A and B are shown apart, each in its own frame.
Chain A
Amino acid sequence: MFELETAANPETLRRVAIDPVTRVEGHGKVTLLLDENNKIHQVRLHIVEFRGFEVFIEGRPYWEVPVAVQRLCGICPVSHQLAAVKAMDQIAGYGPITPTAEKLRRLMHYGQIVQSHAVHFFHLASPDLLLGFDSDFTRRNIVGVALDFPEIAKQGVLIRKYGQEIIRHVSGKRVHGTGAIPGGMNKALSRAERDEMAKDIDQIITWTQGAVALVRRLHETNPGFYNRFGEFDSNMMGLVAPDGALDLYHGALRAVDAEGKTIFDQVDYSTYQSVLQEDIKPWSYMKFPHIKSLGADKGWYKVGPLARIQSASYLNTPLAEAERQIMLALGNGRPVHGTLVFHWARLIEILHAAEVIRDLLNDPELLGTNLMAERGERRHEAVGVIEAPRGTLFHHYRVNDDDLVTYCNLIVSTTNNNQAMNEAIRTVAKQYLDGQEITEGLLNHIECAIRAYDPCLSCATHALGQMPLEVSLVDAGGVVIDKVTKDSAGLRHQPTGELIVL
């Protein structure tokens, strides 16, 4: 069992809730249980929503899946589209996709890395870093940043816009376009579209370099705080190319331990179930995966920017690799595990993605018109994996002879980070809140630890939940339109103690 996961005697403790967790994507809340001396006994991040995608996607035709599953998440729809289509390429019997199709998919994916990381850093997280963790909460948002730091806000907005425009050029829409289809892509890129994107890329690279420098300076101003906040050891996992370089579109799985030593490497991702296992806990709709060989207590891991740029051997673009080396120097040869270093790693990845985009835009093959692969034998089962902005994303499907999906299993990026996020908030609770009078600013420290992971809680809530009590839903005219009944065990009880409403 994990420290601070379950209090011995919850009924005697006071409950404090952060509900909802804000400036993150999706629905979550944190509960703390404290005794009369404000000593903390339990800290949990609950994922409180359910969606049911894995179940209702069954029975749908396979070609519909890539566009349907993007509706899991409006921040990283491209990741879901591409992970699904990588599985469906194989199901539909296509061989390797054409070089042009792969480059278009990469362009769209790296465009999404830029937009998603930008929205996370500038629109959601920067208010804490620029205005202060315990600054006035009514101003602690992108509007406050726009008023106090107009130039940074403007660059953030324009970096995100650039990523969104790349997605639109390739897939037709900024959010929930099409683009990738089983076997390739549905539209070639015109020279005019390419030139439109190429004209701003140097500016974007300059701005993203500026953003990396901004975070580096923040760490320099207060290294003790930035490097130690929510610091804890864990394993890390990500996709790497055959030579160990980070590859966000395609590769094999590598996991390293807290010291950076290899746990497994070059694992074919279609065998993910042989290395990973998911556990269920009664207090969250999100499951808890771990590395099978190490067991639940020792096998949990981190994914996402901080984990993958440290588990990969190098970044294959020069500016980002130089910045990565500066970040790694923090650890003196050991991987760095500070929760706030996630922001630094994320911005290094934006720079990396911008460099990759520049190289793709300079590649004549990008404008090719050979978009569809040769078709061979149909398959009944396939796995598609991609490094989404938030980490490794698994899509696994079975499809029958009538082209209908019969099985779907998703491990979304944020689910991989479930235990790590709980560990982060427990560490911060011990560092800053234990024994203190709980204030809004202190509670925001907990949220800052969650935000550093850039969790996507709507992705993570694909599973369905339970309905243990009776609740009637009455419409505006007083008519009962839904009724939920109590479960047979009747175990539901009220949360203990007082609820602090912020």
Chain B
Amino acid sequence: MNAPEQVRKLRIATTSLSGCFGCHMSLLDIDERLIELAHLVEFDRSPITDIKHCGHCDVALIEGGVCNAENVHVLRELRANSKVLVALGACAINGGLPAQRNNLDVRRCLTQVYRAEGSGEVQVPNDPELPLLLEKVYPINEIVRVDYFVPGCPPSGDTIWKFLTDLLTGRTPRIEHPMLKFD
């Protein structure tokens, strides 16, 4: 793909909420095209940059569902600053595997995990620096408006590339078989 010189670089932010980083790994799975992408876009806030808070962006890619107060905060920051917000992968779309905890009583889980060996004393971490945890893991579209949903666990590098290049060239993003997968 050749980018005309005069075209402004698109600004992209990415984040991982309650995800496993597999969707970000898939973004890197565009391989050599990553270097091409470096000439077409600029990255804003992202786990792969050192920008800690996002400025105005064209596209925000969101991996992971929402499991704590900090996730809510970050998601809203990205929504407020981006024109197009994308739910990338199963966790962002429906909570994914972490949402399995939605069937459980959180308190029982806590006492089970944070029971000290030996003494059996329960010591659940409770420092103010730790973000508050929600009772359930939520899909991101329950918190903010979502423009596109890209399924897969994770969506493949090729799928992400097709999606981004469609956006970059002003086409309506379209993902069809065999790139449209849910596993």
| A contact residues vs B (CB 8 Å cutoff) | 19-20, 22-27, 29, 31, 44, 46, 48-52, 54-56, 68, 71-75, 77, 119, 123-124, 137-138, 140-143, 146-147, 150, 153-154, 157-158, 160-161, 164, 173-176, 277-285, 444, 447, 458, 463-469, 471, 473, 475-476, 481-484, 487, 489, 491-495, 501-502
Contact = CB atoms under 8 A, between A and B. Distances in A.
A253 B138 CA distance: 40
Contacts of A471: 69, 132, 134
B70 to A, nearest CB: 7
B133 A48 contact: no
Given A119-B25, A143-B49, A278-B117, 16 more contacts: A23-B49, A25-B47, A49-B68, A51-B98, A51-B101, A56-B104, A141-B50, A161-B29, A173-B183, A174-B25, A175-B29, A176-B153, A284-B127, A464-B109, A464-B110, A467-B133
Interface of B: 16, 18-26, 28-29, 31-32, 34-35, 38, 42-43, 46-53, 67-70, 72, 96-98, 100-101, 103-104, 106, 109-110, 112-114, 116-118, 123-136, 138, 142-145, 153-154, 156-157, 183
B97 A22 contact: no
A44 B129 CA distance: 10
B130 A283 contact: yes
Contacts of B19: 74, 458
Given A54-B113, A72-B20, A464-B109, A476 B123 contact: no
B17 to A, nearest CB: 9
A31 B153 contact: no
A71 B97 contact: yes
A25 B21 contact: yes
Nearest to A407: B112
A8 B156 CA distance: 50
Contacts of A29: 129
Q: Is the interface of A mostly helix, strand, loop or mixed?
A: loop
B25 A74 contact: yes
Contacts of B110: 464-466
A158 B35 contact: no
A142 B29 CA distance: 14
Nearest to B74: A20
Contacts of B18: 49, 51
A463 B106 CA distance: 11
B124 A157 contact: no
Name the residue among B22, B34, B124, B127 with the largest chain A CB count within 10 angstroms. B127
Contacts of A282: 123, 125-127
B108 to A, nearest CB: 8
Shortest 7 CB-CB distances between A and B: which pairs? A74-B22, A283-B127, A52-B101, A56-B100, A74-B21, A55-B109, A71-B97
B129 to A, nearest CB: 5
A74 B145 contact: no
A466 B68 CA distance: 10
Contact of A458 (B20, B124, B136): B20
Given A141-B43, A175-B25, A48 B131 contact: yes
Contact of A55 (B46, B104, B127): B104
Nearest to A72: B20
B143 A473 contact: yes
B132 A146 contact: no
Nearest to B181: A173
Given A119-B25, A157-B31, A68 B50 contact: no
A29 B74 CA distance: 14
B125 A161 contact: no
A174 B38 contact: no
Contacts of B145: 476
A464 B96 contact: no
5 contacts: A48-B130, A140-B50, A142-B38, A173-B156, A473-B134
B153 A492 contact: no
A444 B118 CA distance: 39
Contact of B101 (A24, A56, A142): A56
A153 B98 contact: no
A52 B69 contact: no
Contacts of A146: 34-35, 38
A207 to B, nearest CB: 14
A482 B138 contact: yes
Name the residue among A49, A56, A158 with the largest chain B CB count within 10 angstroms. A49
B50 A137 contact: yes
Contact of A476 (B25, B133, B144): B144
A174 B156 contact: yes
Contacts of A26: 16, 21
Contacts of B21: 25-26, 73-75, 458
B49 to A, nearest CB: 4
Contact of B135 (A23, A279, A469, A482): A482
A501 B53 contact: yes
B129 A147 contact: no
Contacts of B98: 51-52, 71
Name the residue among B132, B142, B153 with the largest chain A CB count within 10 angstroms. B132
Given A55-B113, A282-B127, A484 B154 contact: no
Given A285-B130, A463-B113, A502 B52 contact: yes
